[in-house]
């Protein structure tokens, strides 16, 4: 075990979150999510990364398996369908696939538990726990849209990492962090330092617009 909850830590985790990194572009979302969750002392993270996800980590961030696994408390091979996160008896508070490929989306929509990532997501749905899929593809074809509908009908949350610009991001890092912050909010976890929308400047000053 590595991370803030390893041996010697004085903090007892009260929340378990599974983070999965699949083969879509946008590996930075999974990495920044792991880093954000490390800053919450009460959270324990469980990570699995697909083979294609590892390829993207190397291509996009120059990161290898050891580097990304060091960001999590526990890590599991994607083919290890016998690991603890494959069982509904494993008490878990949420799972995020960041990013989520169209292949992974289809596996969840069809209930194909053919690897640990898909099985863990299937468990989240059957146990009525929070599942967030940061689907990353464009444009979308009809199969993609239907799969998103199926997952939504089963209780999953489709969360494309679409950046917002109302907070006037000054860098790619700020855009990524804003999206990750919203995901952490969806998990119901505390973020004391998170920026919150306070309304348009004109509204904050008590000015009304008329048309």
Angle between helices 142-153 and 102-110 (to 10 degrees): 50
What is the distance between the alpha carbons of residues 118 and 103, in angstroms, rounded to a whole number?
A: 10
Q: Look at residue 207 and tell me whether its pLDDT is greater than 60.
A: no
Q: Left, alpha or beta for 188 (phi > 0: left; psi -120 to 50: alpha)?
A: left
Closest CA to 19 of 195, 192, 187: 187
Q: Where are the domains of the chain?
A: 15-204
Looking at residue 5, what is its pLDDT?
46
Query: What topology is assigned to 15-204 in CATH?
Result: Rossmann fold (3.40.50)
What tens digit of pLDDT does each residue of 7-17 get?
A: 344 556 789 99
* Res 115 pLDDT > 60: yes
Dihedral-angle region of residue 62 (phi above 0 means left; psi in -120 to 50 means alpha; beta otherwise):
left
Tens digit of pLDDT for each residue in 22-81? Answer: 999 999 999 999 999 999 999 999 999 999 999 999 999 999 999 999 999 999 999 999
Torsion of CA 56, 194, 173, 162, to 10 degrees: 60
pTM of the model: 0.89
């Amino acid at each position: 075990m590595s991370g803030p909850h390893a041996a010697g830590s004085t903090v007892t985790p009260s929340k378990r979150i599974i983070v999965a990194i699949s083969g879509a572009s946008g590996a930075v979302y999974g990495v920044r999510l792991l880093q954000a969750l490390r800053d919450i002392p009460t959270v324990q993270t469980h990570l699995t990364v697909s083979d294609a996800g590892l390829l993207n980590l190397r291509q996009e961030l120059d990161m290898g398996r050891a580097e990304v696994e060091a960001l999590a408390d526990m890590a599991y091979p994607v083919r290890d369908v016998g690991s603890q996160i494959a069982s509904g008896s494993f008490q878990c508070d949420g799972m995020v696939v960041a990013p989520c490929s169209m292949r992974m989306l289809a596996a969840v929509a069809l209930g194909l538990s053919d690897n640990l990532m898909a099985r863990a997501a299937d468990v989240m749905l059957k146990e009525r726990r929070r599942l967030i899929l940061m689907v990353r593809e464009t444009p979308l074809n009809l199969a993609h849209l239907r799969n998103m509908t199926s997952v939504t009908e089963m209780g999953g949350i489709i969360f494309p990492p679409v950046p917002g610009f109302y907070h006037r991001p000054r860098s790619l890092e700020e855009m990524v962090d804003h999206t990750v912050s919203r995901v952490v909010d969806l998990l119901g976890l505390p973020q004391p330092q998170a920026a919150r929308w306070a309304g348009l400047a004109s509204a904050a000053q008590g000015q009304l617009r008329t048309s």
